[in-house]
Amino acid sequence: MNVFVTPAMLAQVVVSGILSGALYAMVALGLALIFGVMRIINVAHGPLLMLGAYTTYFLYSALGLNPYLTVPVSMLALFAVGVLLERTLVFRVVDAPELSSLLLTFGISIALVNLAQLLFTSDLRSVEYLTGSWVVGPVALSKPRLVAFVFAGALTGLAFLFLRRTKLGKAIRATSQSREVAMVCGIDVQRIHLITFGLAAALAAAGGALIAMIVAIQPEMGQTWTFKSFLVIVLGGAGNYPGALLGGILLGLIEQVASLFLTTQLSEVVAYVLLVVVLLVRPTGLLGGRET
């Protein structure tokens, strides 16, 4: 317990919270897209993020690429993996009861983690490219986190532009509002599902690539990201895509503020209690309702 919180400490946790919140928002947007469009909670979202992190790691360590240039490569690679998974397995459980989709994606999830353990071993690996921090007044800004924040913000912005402005993006939003009406309007819903799943995997991969430059990675790093992303979309309102942004920043802030007063273990408890309370009190999320 820490009762002496100075304004400088508070400023530090707010800044750190916003920095990590942008990453949460970007990764969770992927989960929110799949949930909105396909009504599936993709438990394998975190492991897809892990694969993105390893793609960046190997491109950096084996080919010597600048790790920030590997971000789009990771995204493309995981887009392909996502498309493959959707076309072979996931599309079969789109209309099935939630137990089927939860279990199926869990099965995929443990298979991916196990594959990563076999291929990459469980050693901790890290991409040490940008280290240290910039000090601005009382606040220290970790360099890799700040760059990750910029990347995440830009990619999330691009994703929103895509959803708002392009024909394909509008088709995705239409499908998430009503699949039947989208079909009547001549939208190929199967194809939208495919693209959505690939896009979500790409967003997870971008998260993984950026995280690899911040902390050490290992095959089991993904699972907590699935839970955190779910928490973010619950906070923001499932199916409400701008809500994921708010939810991400909020989760980042809550975690950082909680870390001032509590141990990491108890911060997890706070996050859980928050999840249940929000689900009970405002089941539509803090912003409420589905996007119109």
Partner 1 sequence: MIRRGAALAALAAVVAGLAAYPGFASGYGVRATLQIFMWIVLASSWNLISGLTGYVSFGHVAFFGAGAYTGAILVAKVGWPWLPAALAGGVAAVLLALVIGYPCLRLKGPYFAIALLGLNEVLRALVSYFEGLTGGGNGLSLPTLDATIPIYYAMGASAASVTLLTYVIITSRFGLRLMTIREDEVAAEAMGIDTARHKLYAFLLSAAGPGIVGALTARDQGYIEPISVFPLATTITMIVMVLLGGKGTVWGPVLGAVVLFVAQEVVWARYPYVHPLLFGAIIVAVVLLMPRGVLGLLQSRYRLPRTI
Q: Which of 66, 107, 181, 191 contacts partner 1 by CB under 8 A?
A: 107
Does residue 198 contact residue 64 with C-beta atoms inside 8 Å?
A: no
Looking at the Cβ atoms of 78 and 108, the one nearer to partner 1 is 108
Stretch of 63-71, 97-105, 121-129, 163-171 contacting partner 1, by CB under 8 A = 97-105
Regarding 269 and contact with partner 1 (CB under 8 A), the answer is: yes
Calpha distance 19→141 (Å, rounded): 9
Binding residues for partner 1 restricted to 44-83, rule: CB under 8 A: none
- The residue type at 26: M
Q: Minimum distance between the CB of residue 97 and partner 1, rounded to whole angstroms?
A: 8
Shortest separation between residue 191's beta carbon and partner 1, angstroms: 22
Considering only residues 8, 96, 124, 181, which one is a binding residue for partner 1 as defined by CB under 8 A?
A: 96
Give least dist CB 107 to partner 1, A: 3
Residues forming the site for partner 1 (CB under 8 A): 41, 89, 92-93, 96, 98-100, 102-104, 106-111, 113-115, 118, 227, 230, 234, 263, 265-266, 268-269, 272-273, 275-276, 279-280, 283
